[in-house]
Amino acid sequence: MTNLPTKFARPRALSRFDRAVAGAIVVLIGAILLTIVLGDRVGVTLKRVTPLGSAHSTTAITLQFDEPMDRPTAEARLRTEPPLTGTVTWSGETLTFKPDAPLNPDAEYTVILERGARAQSGRETVSEFRYSFTVLQPRVAYLYPADNSPQNIWIVAADDPNSAQQLTTSPSGVYDFAVSPDGAKIAFSEYNSNGNMDIKLLDLDTGALLQLTNCLDATCSTPVWRPDGGMIVYERIDYNTGVEGVGASPVRLWTLDMTTYPPPTRPLFSDLQILGYNAQWSANGRRISLVDRGTSSILIYDFDTGEIVGIPTSTGTYGALSPDGLSIITSNVLLLEGAQARVKMQLVGLDGGILLDLSTGDDSIDEKRAQWRPDGSVLAISRDDPDAMGGTQIYLVDPTDASATMLTDDPLYASTFFYWNPAGTALAVQRLPLLDGGITDPLSRPEIWVVDIVSGDGLRLAHNGYLPRWIP
């Protein structure tokens, strides 16, 4: 038999190993082709979720994916048990769900991400993901002691006076503080070695302490959080000790960008002629109000439009911006016969027009402080009323018709300062004991109370404390 040319030689039979390799190659090619057609639908995972274990009543729910998502498919598959309504926002691969109302204390919530949430690459979540957390009871933070220094921040459960514990151990003393919107951190101003003040940040979960400002030739105080927690506005006075003939600056508002670390700081306004203090945010963070003592007015700045509106006030000391940012409580001095003066409050629109006189018409009433309920439905106002027994008492006032109900009516206490809890169901109140007849006792010390706005019942939480704030 004639041998065939080499190039036409009969192929050699494949070994078992060769057949296995060839089969694997065929399968791999098929998988690649299927991926091209259908996309890789396996393996979208979550890198991080919060909260875990426990949460504050105002805590947002976050899910961080391992790659960019097709956002509508992820949002459509997110739910909670029990059901919650809220707003979804995104930052990169992180979904944040902010409930419309504070979560119920002691309640357990389960977060569920159903299968089928799709990434931009076509990959999907192939199984349901769920986790649960329990909501903490609200607490009250305050400064102690009122009659001595150094003052430090203390914290106490709203239903247990015996649970008080010290949070900070400042040797020089804490001047004031503000709790973050999610209840996880406290920003506070502390006296430094130069006798000025710096702003620091305390993490309530870890105890970590960070210094946010370096005010060696300035005083930095009175931090106020933006409602989303991404910014702090604070008051700053520069002393200019190295500049001859300049002297200390007026109070200006500065900002701390809390989305980066270390947080950069700069003036709130590029125009350094805009001065002010007592900053207050609207609930959506779009507007901020401040008192401009130089013009005896309240300025309202709109971050979306850059517009600044000035609202005149004869006291030049106070304003309470409504949660929707569309109106503000102002105070004005009413002069009476005999050189007597009373402070009256009004609800004013952004155009400067008076929407409502909040006083009852009795010129003898002197109004001192106002704060909006978080949902904007009610005002808490402190008043001195000669027809009521005792000193300063708190009234709940309807902002639509100025009808008022007395909340505190104890003639042995003056309720001088208060703060709403996030749910709008109670006030943390600073009260000062009085002698019979409503006379101030020079030996008395302020007390911290919680007062239920429906029943009016109160519970004393601390003695010799002041400046209460809620930790939601």
pLDDT for 365 beyond 80: yes
pLDDT of residue 428: 98
Please state the φ and ψ torsions of residue 53, each to the nearest 5 degrees.
80, -70
pLDDT of residue 1: 42
pLDDT for 107 beyond 70: yes
90 strand-pairing partners: 95
CA separation for the pair 180, 178 (Å, rounded): 7
pLDDT of residue 360: 65
Signed CA dihedral, 413, 417, 419, 424: sign only: positive
Among 171-175, 315-319, 381-385, where is mean pLDDT lowest?
A: 315-319
Supply the CATH classification number for the domain 46-135.
Answer: 2.60.40.3710
Greater confidence (219 vs 30) lies with 219
Whole-prediction pTM value?
Answer: 0.86
Tell me if the domain spanning 139-161+368-472 has CATH number 2.40.128.
Answer: yes
Please state the φ and ψ torsions of residue 23, each to the nearest 5 degrees.
-65, -40
Strands (E), 319-412: 319-321, 327-335, 341-349, 354-357, 366-372, 379-384, 393-397, 404-406
Please state the φ and ψ torsions of residue 36, each to the nearest 5 degrees.
-65, -40
- The label of the residue with tokens 């960019």 reads 68
- Average pLDDT over all residues of the chain: 89
pLDDT of residue 57: 95
Q: Give the tokens for residue 87.
A: 């707003």
- Interval 40-65 mean pLDDT: 89
Among 23-32, 323-332, 353-362, 454-463, where is mean pLDDT lowest?
A: 23-32
CA separation for the pair 360, 332 (Å, rounded): 15
Contact 237, 248 (CB under 8 A): yes
Greater confidence (419 vs 438) lies with 419
pLDDT of residue 389: 61
139-161+368-472 matches 46-135 in CATH topology: no
pLDDT for 470 beyond 90: yes
pLDDT of residue 443: 86
Q: To which H or E segment does residue 30 belong? A: helix 16-38
Q: pLDDT tens digit string along 237-263? A: 999 988 877 889 999 999 999 999 899
Task: For residue 337, name the pLDDT band (cuts at 50, 70, 90).
Answer: low
Domain ranges across the chain: 46-135, 139-161+368-472
pLDDT for 320 beyond 90: yes
Q: pLDDT tens digit string along 345-356? A: 999 999 989 999
Greater confidence (360 vs 10) lies with 360
- Interval 132-142 mean pLDDT: 96
pLDDT of residue 15: 56
Q: pLDDT tens digit string along 380-395? A: 999 987 766 668 999 9
Q: pLDDT tens digit string along 213-235? A: 999 899 999 999 999 999 999 99
- Interval 177-200 mean pLDDT: 95
pLDDT for 37 beyond 50: no
pLDDT of residue 376: 96
- Interval 418-444 mean pLDDT: 90
Greater confidence (33 vs 196) lies with 196
197 strand-pairing partners: 191, 219
